[in-house]
Amino acid sequence: MSKKYQENVTIVDHPLVQHKLSLMRDEKTSTAGFRLLLREIAHLLCYEVTRDLELENIAINTPMGAMDAPKLKGKKLVFASILRAGNGLLEGMLDLVPSARVAHIGLYRDHDTLMPVEYYFKAPSDIADRLTIVVDPMLATANSAIAAIERLKDRGANNLIFLCLLAAPEGIAAFTKAHPDVPVFTASIDDHLNEKGYIVPGLGDAGDRMYGTR
Ligand code: PRP
Ligand code: URA
């Protein structure tokens, strides 16, 4: 279940997604609970974000006879995780699509400038031939997501989707301006960003809540 927020921006408003997201937002949720919920939500988001993948029929034999059976068409997907918190979504996505290729983009936000600082990049060399789904739970200013996608485009990626859990309206505006060709899927667009660039009401710092580093 999903609804359009604007051209190229989809909100996945399935009741299970919304219920689990509320549990994640709750400050009383433990680190272990937060990680498990993110992995579970990733399954549900993966289902929605891959809804339009093309199929092709393959001849197989069931124990009862021959049939043309639908299978995913084309080269395997790439999941691109923006570290660290992207790995929480990545794990759940890989549960459903275990053969996907994986790119890692190491970025952290400078706390003063809110600009991303890159510390790692590794992506499949044939990314130009594959659909790439970029994952990060949080789209706040969108500076990180914009930079990650620029990096992937420089590497040749030309068929991209951005998937997050929570977005700020300011981040959606900045992202869709910078990358109008990249559809966005999110479970929620919250109220606003605070003066420190955090999503309100949000869920706090996703990386810290996932790994207990606060
Ligand atoms: C968080 C989050 C995004 C980024 C979003 O990562 O996972 O990558 O902030 O903010 P932005 O839209 O304003 O760029 P963070 O920089 O805290 O790094 P971490 O995942 O290593 O904790
Ligand atoms: N990064 C986070 O982890 N949370 C926010 O609210 C904003 C950026």
| pLDDT value of position 17 | 98
Average pLDDT of the chain? 96
| pLDDT, mean of residues 147-163 | 98
The string of DSSP codes covering 137-198 is SEESSSHHHHHHHHHHHHTT--SEEEE-SEE-HHHHHHHHHH-TTS-EEESEE-SEE-TTS-
Please indicate whether residue 148, judged by its CB atom, sits closer than 6 Å to ligand 2.
no
Q: Is the CB of 141 under 6 A from ligand 1?
A: yes
User: What is the domain partition of the chain in residue ranges?
Assistant: 2-53+81-204
pLDDT score, position 74: 86
As a whole number of angstroms, the distance between CA 195 and CA 190 comes to 15
| Ligand 2 centroid distance, CA of 196 (Å) | 9
pLDDT at 113: 95
* Residues 74-87: tens digit of each pLDDT: 888 999 999 999 99
Q: How confident is the model at residue 150 (pLDDT cuts 50, 70, 90)?
A: very high
Q: How far apart are CA 1 and CA 60, in angstroms?
A: 32
Residue 174 predicted with pLDDT over 90: yes
Question: Across residues 63-69, what is the average pLDDT?
Answer: 98
Which amino acid is located at 144 in the chain? S
> Distance from the CA of 109 to the center of ligand 2, in angstroms?
9
Residue 90, number of CB atoms within 10 A of its CB: 24
Sheet containing 184-186, strands listed edge to edge, beginning at the edge strand earlier in sequence: 3-6, 9-11, 184-186, 160-163, 132-135, 78-83, 101-109, 116-122
**SS3 state at 56:** strand
Q: Which ligand is nearest to the CA of 139?
A: 1
Q: Does the pLDDT at position 127 exceed 90?
A: yes
Does residue 206 have its Cβ closer than 6 Å to ligand 1? Answer: yes
- pLDDT of 1 higher than 80: no
User: So which residues are the catalytic ones?
Assistant: 109, 113, 205, 208
CA 11 to CA 45: how far, in whole Å?
10
pLDDT for 13-43, tens place per residue?
Answer: 999 999 999 999 999 999 999 999 999 999 9
Taking the whole predicted model, whether its pTM rises above 0.85 is answered as: yes
CATH architecture of 2-53+81-204: 3-Layer(aba) Sandwich (3.40)
